[in-house]
């Protein structure tokens, strides 16, 4: 493949004919999954780029970027199990189930203990019926739910079966707990945080989330945001 000078990297298109690349990127907080895809397109000048599983802008961690022929593997990659570490803040309820939303309720967390949280978490293990957040990328009539919610249009998504393989309490320092979850495709950790708060009677939101793993793709092996320009140059040299 012809190498493109660095000063032309933003306005050239590299045809990755016959090449398929799966790039494990550690997405930083504040960047959307679409923004990561667009950034790589500009850096490497590649047309055919996508991702296998959206991460919310407020979340960080493993985002699998597919390039060239690897775009055909999106469905199989999205079906891999995911592992997350999340921070749950008790005593508050928002319309988005996270810290970006409007506060709907506040409650006392007095009496909340590691034992009560651990007992409540056990209810989520196995196959469960989960209602996705109204503020989510789940599609309804071709549009993401958040596009309706932002206009004040209430669309109540149906409960869907998801599987929680592992769920455990890592630490608790009131009013926040750190939990680890291994789950199937389609699981919303925000919904788990919200539902956990309902079970405990004090409300809860997801205040931070990191995707540690997708299948065998681990965060320890992921390319950092700062390293993406160099990684793009490596792709061009292929």
Q: Which residues are catalytic?
A: 56
Nearest one of 77, 71, 82 to 21, comparing CA atoms = 71
Question: CA quadruple 144, 145, 151, 155: dihedral positive or negative?
Answer: positive
CA distance 216 to 213: 7
In eight-state DSSP terms, residue 123 is: G
Residues 6+ apart with CB under 8 A from 121: 167, 168, 169, 179, 196
Question: CA quadruple 137, 25, 225, 15: dihedral positive or negative?
Answer: negative
CA distance 95 to 101: 6
The answer to whether the CB of 86 falls within 8 A of the CB of 179 is yes
């Amino acid at each position: 493949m012809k190498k493109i000078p660095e000063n032309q990297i933003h306005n050239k298109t590299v045809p990755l004919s016959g090449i398929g690349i799966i790039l494990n990127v550690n997405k930083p907080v504040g960047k959307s999954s679409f923004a990561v895809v667009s950034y790589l397109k500009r850096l490497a000048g590649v047309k055919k780029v996508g991702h296998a599983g959206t991460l919310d802008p407020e979340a960080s961690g493993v985002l699998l970027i597919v390039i060239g022929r690897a775009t055909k593997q999106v469905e199989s990659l999205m079906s891999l199990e995911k592992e997350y570490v999340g921070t749950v803040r008790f005593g508050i309820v928002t319309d988005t189930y996270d810290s970006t939303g409007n506060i709907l309720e506040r409650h006392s967390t007095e009496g909340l203990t590691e034992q009560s949280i651990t007992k409540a978490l056990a209810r989520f293990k196995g196959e469960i019926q989960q209602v996705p957040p109204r503020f989510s990328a789940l599609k309804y009539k071709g549009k993401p739910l958040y596009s309706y919610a932002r206009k004040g249009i209430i669309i109540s998504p149906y409960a869907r079966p998801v599987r929680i393989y592992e769920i455990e309490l890592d630490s608790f320092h009131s009013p926040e707990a750190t939990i680890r979850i291994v789950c199937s495709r389609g699981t919303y950790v925000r919904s788990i945080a919200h539902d956990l708060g309902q079970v405990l009677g004090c409300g809860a939101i997801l205040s931070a989330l990191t995707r540690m793993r997708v299948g065998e793709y681990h965060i320890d092996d992921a390319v950092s945001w700062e390293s993406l320009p160099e990684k793009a140059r490596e792709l061009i040299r292929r």
